[in-house]
Structure 1
């Protein structure tokens, strides 16, 4: 590891936006710990891509809702790279249903990953991130778009928007920023699965930019919050091309 190299943990880093974030932070010069829930092949592929581009990365399996697993994730970052400067909590699940038809087991699954997982990761980060660091949680622009079938998912992410500014104030004097990023509709498997081409085109056409977001669009904002943007703190940054 090069002297003064920053170290980032990215949960949900094996696919979609999380993977784009991991690759972008590595390209920015950070050593990256790619946290993943179950898809080892995808996680190792992300590490390989980062390595081929000249970066440093390792994949670690961790259920974000389990404190022991998250602690081991941070242990790996400290033991392998010397510490933790940036934590990007991109792990999340989305199950869509009209509220009147909602399977409460699905609600509990989203609560476990999206809310409990954010608390567990943020709690660990609060004790381990070094001065000058950043904690970046993930919300969604659906909290403003109010789309049918998204009530349970949006509710779980609204909790993330509540957590982040409070933690920013609780870390007063530590020189650690805490923000949430709220992507709009983005071309990832999480968003595209179960939607017809017509639905996707309709959603893309509603955006002033006339397209869906790309994972790289979101990663660009995370890169800024993870590095030079020291005066953005306790905020939710909506990254959606003007959709909301």
Structure 2
């Protein structure tokens, strides 16, 4: 097993930033697991695109908020591929996707079940096998919204992202003895295929007024931070902020 191909699991990788990060890690030579919960077609397309470009990718369904499903996923990856070497906790609930029938409590539980509970469950399963996969990496995807006031409809999302920083610091301390690093990647607004559809042109222009560089970042610009976190073995418990100055701009 010493010469096995290293495995990278990216949760929520059927589109947007997750798909971009999957492609970038495949370019680094990882066998990439394109995780998804619902969008089978999109996830299969991402994996197929990676394979067509010469990479190694498999789409695998798992609702990361489901504890038994997460346990089963990591067990399957251990059996089929020798385990997970890089875990990227990217899965989230879009803060603008609340359904009309969801009460405040239902929405809170829905958002945190994926963005926080899911990351926690995946980190725990990664830790279960940590002794056998030394020099591994965990990268938790947060947001610049974790450290700024938010609109009322985004409080649940921002809270889940802030809590991710606690996960990072805690697992960084616990896994250091295995030379496993754990870091947070905190993007600002990202130009994904659905961004304008979600917030509209007016919303985009308003958001850009709060970004020092006056624009959204590209998925590749954010993925640069992931690549660095994966390649750097002497950084742990830290946050990589890539937000165009959004955290300090007026």
TM-score (ref. length: structure 2):
0.89
Corresponding residue to 1:241 among 217, 238, 244: 244
Q: RMSD of the alignment, in Å?
A: 2.1
Shift of the alpha carbon at 1:127?
1.5
Query: What SS does structure 1 have at the residue aligned with 2:119?
Result: helix
Query: What SS does structure 1 have at the residue aligned with 2:185?
Result: strand
Corresponding residue to 1:223 among 197, 222, 227: 227
Residue 71 (1) aligns with residue 75 (2): no
In the other structure, the counterpart of 2:40 is: 40
Shift of the alpha carbon at 1:190?
6.3
When structure 1 is superposed on structure 2, of 53-62 and 167-176 the one drifting more is 167-176
Residue 210 (1) aligns with residue 214 (2): yes
The answer (yes or no) to whether the contact 1:35–1:59 under 8 Å persists in 2 is yes
The answer (yes or no) to whether the contact 1:94–1:190 under 8 Å persists in 2 is no
In the other structure, the counterpart of 1:143 is: 146
The answer (yes or no) to whether the contact 2:12–2:37 under 8 Å persists in 1 is yes
In the other structure, the counterpart of 2:168 is: 164
Query: What SS does structure 2 have at the residue aligned with 1:12?
Result: coil
Deviations 1:88-145 (A, max 9, x none): 0100013358xxxx72211110111111111111100112241111011111101223
Shift of the alpha carbon at 1:203?
1.6
Query: What SS does structure 1 have at the residue aligned with 2:128?
Result: helix
Corresponding residue to 1:178 among 159, 176, 182: 182
For structure 1, list consecutive stretches of 5 or more residues without a partner in the other structure.
Answer: none
Aligned residues: 240
When structure 1 is superposed on structure 2, of 79-88 and 69-78 the one drifting more is 69-78
The answer (yes or no) to whether the contact 1:33–1:77 under 8 Å persists in 2 is no
Query: What SS does structure 1 have at the residue aligned with 2:33?
Result: strand
For structure 2, list consecutive stretches of 5 or more residues without a partner in the other structure.
Answer: none
Distance, in Å, in 2 between the alignment partners of 1:14 and 1:117 is: 16
Residue 105 (1) aligns with residue 106 (2): yes
When structure 1 is superposed on structure 2, of 183-192 and 165-174 the one drifting more is 183-192
**For residues 35 and 105 of structure 1, do their structure 2 counterparts lie closer, same or farther at Cα, with a shift above 3 Å needed?**
same
Distance, in Å, in 1 between the alignment partners of 2:81 and 2:160 is: 33
In the other structure, the counterpart of 2:21 is: 21
The answer (yes or no) to whether the contact 1:18–1:90 under 8 Å persists in 2 is yes
Corresponding residue to 1:187 among 180, 184, 191: 191
Shift of the alpha carbon at 1:189?
5.4
The answer (yes or no) to whether the contact 1:27–1:55 under 8 Å persists in 2 is yes
Query: What SS does structure 1 have at the residue aligned with 2:17?
Result: helix
The answer (yes or no) to whether the contact 1:87–1:136 under 8 Å persists in 2 is yes
In the other structure, the counterpart of 2:204 is: 200
The answer (yes or no) to whether the contact 1:139–1:182 under 8 Å persists in 2 is yes
Shift of the alpha carbon at 1:218?
1.3
The answer (yes or no) to whether the contact 1:165–1:178 under 8 Å persists in 2 is yes
In the other structure, the counterpart of 1:122 is: 123
